[in-house]
Amino acid sequence: MLNHPRSVAHKVFDIWRSPGRFTKNPDIVALPTGRYLLIYSDVDAHWSLNDQVLTTLASDDQGATWHKHREIDRADLTAGDERLVTPRLSLLNDGRLVVIVDHDDDGHFHEDQPPGNWLYWSHDLGDTWSAAQTDTGIGGFEPDRILDLPDGRLGVASHLMRGESQEFAQVLWTSSDGGRTWSERGTIAHDGYHRFCEGAIVVLNGGRQLACVMRENHSGGIPSFVAYSDDCGASWTEPQMLPFALHRPYAKQLADGRVLVTGRNVNGGLGTYAWVGDLGEAAGKYALGGPRRKYDAALVGEALMIQNRPEHECRYTLLPPESPFSDVDLEAELRVEASAGHASVAFLSISRLGQLLQVGPEHISIRRGRHDVRYATDMTRFRKVALRHRRGWLQVQLDGETVLHTCVFREETPASDFHGGDPTRRTQFGQWGASGRSFWRRLSYRLGNPSLADFTWEWNAASGKFPDQYQRDRMIQIHANHPAQKPWPDHGYSSWIEREDGSIYLVDYTNAGDVADTAHLVGVIINPADLA
């Protein structure tokens, strides 16, 4: 696994296993008594086909040990119940605890379908719970936790499909009667292109502003987004890109004013990661995604040298084009070495266009239909290679001369890929194969999009910085999960509390090291020094 320069992985410990089961999506609060209480969904698999049990665990020694506390509800699909998905737990200002949980996506996915978010209430700090409040009026799915808004209302964010665009919208729902009835207050984010979802509401600066940090569910190099509200959620700014890509972001403001965001990293090393900083300063900034697994790369002279090795994968991910109608210029200055001159060593790819350019010591090639079309040339010295796309015509240029070309049809490979396994589903450059090495001097990338903002990114090895320097400096690996984990690496629906000494106690689920269709809960202590 990627050895991330900023990691707290040595502070990870198991907190709960349910034998033969998948322990999913823990959410934690600290009670006034000092007890920690968390809820999770105890299920038969990640996507449960049999039964789910909403379960609370309690710890009376600040998370060192845990015991099963209560079962709040059960669902049995074999008996006709609807699937319970992701519970969230909140301690409200009036002392009540409330759990919100969504139901089967297919039944409550669309804005025209009935709401499927249920509420459970406790007036005695979790010892007893009400029956499910089923007629909430809170639409959508994957809700955030319920929170007290600065104007006295209760609020919760969820996402649903808008019929007009057939795409996700992130929506804020509010209640002015303590949670008995709810209504839609405002659309946080919806543009008909981005798949905004799993938003986390952050109350900033004593309630003067709200922020919503969102997952973008195309992934494939598209980062997380943030939107702001200065009127308690009635209206929101245009969403802005953030310099990280986290699924199920969990975000709150720390005592020192910074915002800490944790979640499943999908644009770099696999595992749960954290970002901490000034959310306002980060809004609108872009950061390239780094390698997802172990790699061998170093700055040598004025070039990035990538040494290809078995089970290594040094690939860097860029923002994808909007569509096959985007103008694209991706140019690299590089050379390669390999013992076998016919072998490919490096590559560049453009998602949405479905294009892959391979580079070997004696050739460059692209795929046309079912065949690789090669152009023989000497790539053992530094050359400028470019992919240029306009109006469906893609040219491969070598030192400014077009040497290969092909047509791009209007519906090519989409840019939807969580983990970067298929290079044609991401816009990437880097290692191809398990032997040889490549030397990269500089890259430039420009997009002219039909409706989204145009985009420009450049990197030069002479700067002394890696292409993913921002991630290396600012992203913190909390716990890793190997790409070979079966059936896939699964983790990242985290939550956490800030303790009086400034440390963070985080909980998450992971299937790392587990047999298929099982997972366990982990705890992590993040010290203030880890967040410096």
Average pLDDT rounded to a whole number, residues 488-497 = 97
List all residues 6 or more positions away from 505 whose beta carbon is below 8 Å from its beta carbon.
28, 36, 62, 63, 496, 497, 499, 523, 524, 525, 526
Residue 367 has pLDDT above 90, yes or no: no
| Cα of 151 vs its chain's centroid, Å | 31
Q: How far apart are CA 2 and CA 4, in angstroms?
A: 6
DSSP letter for each residue of 96-157: -EEEEEEE-HHHHSBTTSPP--EEEEESSTTSS-PPPB------SBSPPPPEE-TTS-EEEE
pLDDT in tens, 413-469: 677 776 666 778 899 999 999 999 999 999 999 999 999 999 999 999 999 999 999
pLDDT in tens, 237-280: 999 999 999 999 999 999 999 999 999 999 999 999 999 999 99
DSSP letter for each residue of 162-177: ETTTTEEEEEEEEESS
How many helices, marked H, and strands, marked E, lie in the chain?
3, 37
Q: Can you list the domains of the chain with their CATH numbers?
A: 9-290+473-531 (2.120.10.10), 297-465 (2.60.120.200)
State the DSSP H helix or E strand holding residue 229, giving kind and residue range, or none if neither: strand 225-229
If we measure between CA atoms, which residue out of 283, 259, 262, 284 comes closest to residue 273? 262
Strand 271-277 relative to strand 259-265, pairing:
antiparallel
Strand 303-307 relative to strand 297-300, pairing:
antiparallel
Q: How far apart are CA 368 and CA 121, in angstroms?
A: 59
Q: What is the reported pLDDT for 106?
A: 84
Q: What is the reported pLDDT for 9?
A: 74
Q: Which two tokens stand for residue 249?
A: 């972001």
pLDDT in tens, 277-305: 999 999 999 999 999 989 999 999 899 99
DSSP 205: G
242 and 283 in contact (C-beta within 8 Å)?
yes
Q: What is the dihedral sign for C-alpha 465, 471, 474, 476? A: negative
Confidence of residue 352 (pLDDT cuts 50, 70, 90): very high
Average pLDDT rounded to a whole number, residues 105-116 = 91
If we measure between CA atoms, which residue out of 414, 301, 396, 268 comes closest to residue 353? 414
Residue 54 has pLDDT above 50, yes or no: yes
DSSP 197: E
DSSP letter for each residue of 445-465: EEEE-SSSPPEEEEEEGGGS-
C-beta pairs of 154-158 under 8 Å, 24+ apart in sequence: 154/92, 154/178, 154/179, 155/185, 155/201, 155/233, 156/100, 156/117, 156/182, 156/201, 157/188, 157/199, 157/200, 157/201, 157/212, 158/102, 158/117
Beta bridge partners of 213: 200, 226
Confidence of residue 492 (pLDDT cuts 50, 70, 90): very high
479 and 271 in contact (C-beta within 8 Å)?
yes
Confidence of residue 4 (pLDDT cuts 50, 70, 90): low
Q: What is the reported pLDDT for 412?
A: 66
Q: What is the reported pLDDT for 425?
A: 86
Average pLDDT rounded to a whole number, residues 475-489 = 93
Q: Give the rounded percent of residues in the chain with a pLDDT score beyond 70.
A: 97
Q: What is the reported pLDDT for 1?
A: 39
31: helix, strand or coil: coil
If we measure between CA atoms, which residue out of 205, 417, 447 comes closest to residue 326? 447
List all residues 6 or more positions away from 478 whose beta carbon is below 8 Å from its beta carbon.
7, 8, 9, 12, 262, 271, 272, 273, 274, 494, 506, 508, 524, 526
Average pLDDT rounded to a whole number, residues 470-485 = 94
471: helix, strand or coil: helix
Average pLDDT, the chain: 95
If we measure between CA atoms, which residue out of 288, 313, 297, 346 comes closest to residue 421? 313
The residue type of 335 is R
Q: What is the reported pLDDT for 2?
A: 47
DSSP 62: T
Residue 379 has pLDDT above 80, yes or no: yes
Longest dimension (CA), the chain: 75
